[in-house]
Copies of this chain bind each other. A is one copy, B any other.
Amino acid sequence: MSHSVSPLAPKTYPELPAVAGVRLATAEAGIRYKGRTDVLYAAFDEGTAVAGVFTRSRCPSAPVDWCRAQLPGGTARALVVNSGNANAFTGLKGRDAVRLTATIAAEAAGCRPEEVFLASTGVIGEPLDASKFRGVLAECAARAAPGPYRDAARAIMTTDTFPKVATRTVRLGDADVTINGIAKGAGMIAPDMATMLSFVFTDAPIAAPVLQDLLARGADTSFNCVTIDGDTSTSDTLLMFATGKAAAARIDRADDPRLAPFAAALDDLLVDLAQLVARDGEGARKFVTVTVEGAESDRSAHRIAMSIANSPLVKTAVAGEDANWGRVVMAVGKAGEPADRDRLAIWFGDVRVAVDGARDPAYDEAAASAAMERDDVAIRVDLGLGGGTARVWTCDLTKAYVEINGDYRS
């Protein structure tokens, strides 16, 4: 992929510390790309708990099926991720490829195949030649090291233009623990578990069912609030691994009061990663935050916010720096949720452009346009009906999106 780096990319990247019990390696398996890494291998110490959230697509990829099947086991010893081929809609061959990959990784890691978690991203419908992992994963296992995480984030990229990493250190009971996360996104990003792939690693000693609860709730307010193009991938996967190596007492219950700061830090890290995904939306030139207030419920607010964030007309207006709030009205109207046209108010940035169902009497085109010229554009809607609120993130729709997706496969 030769696309230039998104203008919304972070100016600096955080240095991610090691997470005790996690070792990483990347390699060039030649799945599809030449001259870049396309495999991430992670090894986990014994006793590592795992949690996962997956695409709601009715046509999930073979690796998603595999992970769902292994998740109830609750433990993980290895993770293998490849870019370039999604191993989705590959039929029986896809299932065989998943089993072979897990077997090769299990041999390399010295564990059972059922303790290996898998994810693939890239082209749909092409058979994945898993025999390419032979040798590669054993070699990865031999040189796996506590970092660097940025290389790991780079190996899982497809049309992403920058690697996505985030880290938090937080008190858990009587010890500090680390949470590291990486993600990839860019295209086929939509409401039901947004980013295609994200992996979170922590040394916190948290039991798998508790971890699952934290992760599912965290995904709802982060990745599930991002949309690039409204297209839900067959492969969306968020996995979290907790090695338990930190010097904190083990947490077995979701209502343990020591969890609160950890849960907050995890949520924050997931939001960070989710926003990075939106900032690297295919062809993105603007990062857009859509806030909806005054809805009948949070759920209703979320649907309206998504209707705005997914509207091609709103997104092209943002691309054109056009303060076209009429299209926001349209998107509110088409959401099918309770709305009273004559109570609607709309802001671009701090500029109120519409109120009481009509253009703001004090409307100032220059001020509204100035709000649209920023890299980060805020759209806020107050429905004036109730207390429901939601916030989602997206990017603009540019000619570059069409260009990238018009010739991705060829």
For residue A188, which residues in chain B have a CB less than 8 angstroms away from its CB?
313, 330
- With an 8 A cutoff between CB atoms, is A60 at the interface? yes
Q: How large is the interface on A (under 10, 10 to 19, 20 to 34, 35 or more residues)?
A: 35 or more
**Residue-by-residue, is A152-185 near B (CB-CB < 8 Å gives 1, otherwise 0)?**
0000000000000000000000000000000000
- With an 8 A cutoff between CB atoms, is A103 at the interface? no
A341, B89: Cβ atoms closer than 8 Å: yes
| Residues of chain A in range 296-355 having any CB-CB distance to chain B below 8 Å | 310-313, 316-317, 319-320, 322, 324-327, 329-339, 341-342, 344, 354
For residue A356, which residues in chain B have a CB less than 8 angstroms away from its CB?
91
| Residues of chain A in range 72-129 having any CB-CB distance to chain B below 8 Å | 86, 88-94, 123-127
B231, A358: Cβ atoms closer than 8 Å: no
- With an 8 A cutoff between CB atoms, is A233 at the interface? yes
- With an 8 A cutoff between CB atoms, is A212 at the interface? no
A125, B337: Cβ atoms closer than 8 Å: no
Identical chains bound together, number: 2
For residue A66, which residues in chain B have a CB less than 8 angstroms away from its CB?
none
| Residues of chain A in range 176-200 having any CB-CB distance to chain B below 8 Å | 187-188, 190, 192
B192, A359: Cβ atoms closer than 8 Å: no
For residue A317, which residues in chain B have a CB less than 8 angstroms away from its CB?
405-406, 408-409
For residue A330, which residues in chain B have a CB less than 8 angstroms away from its CB?
57, 59, 124, 188, 231-234
For residue A408, which residues in chain B have a CB less than 8 angstroms away from its CB?
317, 320, 322, 324
Given A399-B402, A403-B399, decide whether A230 and B124 contact each other with a Cβ distance below 8 A.
no
B342, A91: Cβ atoms closer than 8 Å: yes
- With an 8 A cutoff between CB atoms, is A407 at the interface? yes
CA distance A322 to B194 in the complex (A): 25
Residue from A313, A325, A399, A409 whose CB has the most chain B CB atoms within 10 Å: A313
CA distance A233 to B325 in the complex (A): 13
For residue A125, which residues in chain B have a CB less than 8 angstroms away from its CB?
325-326, 329, 354, 358-359
CA distance A317 to B336 in the complex (A): 29
For residue A55, which residues in chain B have a CB less than 8 angstroms away from its CB?
333
A229 partner, pick from B88, B312, B325, beta carbons under 8 A: B312
Nearest-neighbour CB distance to chain B for A53, whole angstroms, equals: 16
- With an 8 A cutoff between CB atoms, is A397 at the interface? yes
- With an 8 A cutoff between CB atoms, is A357 at the interface? yes
For residue A357, which residues in chain B have a CB less than 8 angstroms away from its CB?
89, 91
- With an 8 A cutoff between CB atoms, is A410 at the interface? yes
- With an 8 A cutoff between CB atoms, is A32 at the interface? no
**Residue-by-residue, is A258-291 near B (CB-CB < 8 Å gives 1, otherwise 0)?**
0000000000000000000000000000000000
- With an 8 A cutoff between CB atoms, is A56 at the interface? yes
Q: A88-B329, A91-B358, A398-B402 are in contact. List 4 more A-B contacts (CB 8 A).
A: A124-B326, A125-B326, A125-B354, A231-B327
